[in-house]
Chains A and B, each alone.
Chain A
């Protein structure tokens, strides 16, 4: 198969477009879910969609996409509602509420799934593909449904941008302005449920949560504005989706959904490690640098205080004394100070058994030490 044939392949086209749509909607809505500390909500909604999928199948009597997705949406929304009722009216905390709802609905879904399998219905084939997704089964008609949902959700986010932003940042203040916080909450939750529904066919109920959380988490690492974060999450979601879909098309036999999740997750990994200011590597480098700077500043001020204590600005401090004061070897810090011209080295005087020599502050060193102490508010003097 040549490259051109490959790109014209009907199934591959469907899968790639579907994956891109999924990345788009889950990246945008996932950003709000993550910022509102509702990452687990996506997980609950997707697991809770399974009984809906089965009931939709039972009612339609066949693998009808419309009734299956509607069932998924209804049971996902029911789960979210149950979770809200549980946490508002009992002492249950949100995490416990989400956990209980998730497992109960999922268990119900698996029971229904095995029940359907026992019915010996010829058209039941592949219903369990909703567990891990079966991207290759995506039809052109499914894409229209997915596309419609995505456009509607993105339109709502664009229209209610500032309201969603305020409700996510400071719901108390939003309510004091008269915004219907509860309804905006419900709307965001329903839209996340819609995103989950879009992803059921592609990645399945088990992995869908990662699709909601991962692009948002990665984007947050790189962006300091909500606008930037949402846009970047959409880009990461779309490109991760397309990349995963193409990868699975190249290597026939490997599951598409998990490959999409893996591509998005690798972006998360890179972002967590290398993003400026928020990445681990950045953090580690900054810590190391500030520790080094602190060390040599401490040594410099020690020299200054020794000189001050002896009322002699050219006081010769013995290296052994400085080492003892700091409890470690200060050789490296002293050489660094020497290179910067803050101290000069004197050979040990003949009458002392000292081997390492003595150090004297230069005028530049004196004023630098004063500057450091000044910035500390002279607390140490």
Chain B
């Protein structure tokens, strides 16, 4: 058996470059995530945060570089990966129910020609319960609020029963209750030993929610444990002049941190 490339890393990205019409969107990215952490990908608009996730999942063509998950390329590891796309990437007026959307998470396991049956619906229902949406199972998805739609998407990733989860801006445009519910679920996944990688837009909450951080602006600005990376100098490097808009208090240690970062990491 061939030797595995970086098998001890949940995600290993090396020399990755992506370009749209000869303009680089991601340039020479080296990015590693150890298993069992909750990692944030943070950067200004147009930094390539979503593109990074999509190129890892093979959804956009890469110009150079390679990606492995636990030592193997993505196409051999699909069943170990769960994905939550941006909520705005689909048309929520599509004629279907919340339960049906969650069931779609099982299509990969079902394979061609097989139809989802009672067992699949049960699993989907359990995932809906985990995100507190069991009462909305038969609801037309267009009738759900933004936060409820996001929970349905999260439930669809939960039924994938993956080891590594990629989430694209799951906290964008949702209410405070949903944000808290989502963070709780993600923490539970991490505590079960799964790796959670999140594109995040809110600098204020980075230190409270996450224990691993990638600062991105087309190139990698900094990466590592959130306590080491989240510094004024790094943020200024990533955001340039926009950092002036940030509240100075954002750099002070948080008053209350739900889970101390140092305790979580070996």
Contact = CB atoms under 8 A, between A and B. Distances in A.
Interface of A: 35, 37, 91, 159-163, 165-166, 168-170, 172-179, 220, 223-226, 228-229
B83 interface: yes
A91 B20 CA distance: 11
A176 B83 contact: yes
28 contacts: A35-B91, A35-B94, A160-B112, A160-B113, A162-B104, A163-B107, A165-B104, A166-B104, A166-B107, A169-B90, A169-B96, A169-B104, A170-B85, A172-B54, A173-B83, A173-B104, A175-B57, A176-B83, A176-B85, A177-B107, A177-B108, A178-B108, A224-B95, A224-B96, A224-B140, A225-B95, A225-B97, A225-B100
A178 B80 CA distance: 12
A380 B108 CA distance: 50
B95 A159 contact: no
Interface in B79-94: 81, 83, 85, 89-91, 94
B116 interface: yes
A225 B59 contact: no
Contact of B107 (A37, A162, A226): A162
Interface residues of B, number: 29
Given A162-B115, A178-B75, A178-B108, A170 B90 contact: yes
B66 interface: no
Given A162-B115, A170-B85, A177-B78, A223 B104 contact: no
A160 B95 CA distance: 18
B7 interface: no
A172 B107 contact: no
Contact of A225 (B78, B96, B107): B96
B96 to A, nearest CB: 6
A215 to B, nearest CB: 14
A159 B113 contact: yes
Contacts of B59: 172, 175-176
Interface of B: 21, 54, 57-59, 75, 78, 81, 83, 85, 89-91, 94-97, 100-101, 104, 107-108, 110, 112-113, 115-116, 140, 156
Nearest to A35: B94
A165 B21 CA distance: 31
Contact of A223 (B95, B107, B108): B95
B77 to A, nearest CB: 10
The residue among B57, B94, B113 with the most chain A CB atoms within 10 A of its own CB is: B94
Contacts of A223: 95
Nearest to B53: A176
A161 to B, nearest CB: 8
A165 B59 CA distance: 19
Contacts of B90: 169-170
**Most chain B CB neighbours (cut-off 10 Å) among A37, A162, A163:** A162
A32 B107 CA distance: 19
Contacts of B116: 162
Given A169-B104, A170-B85, A226 B95 contact: yes
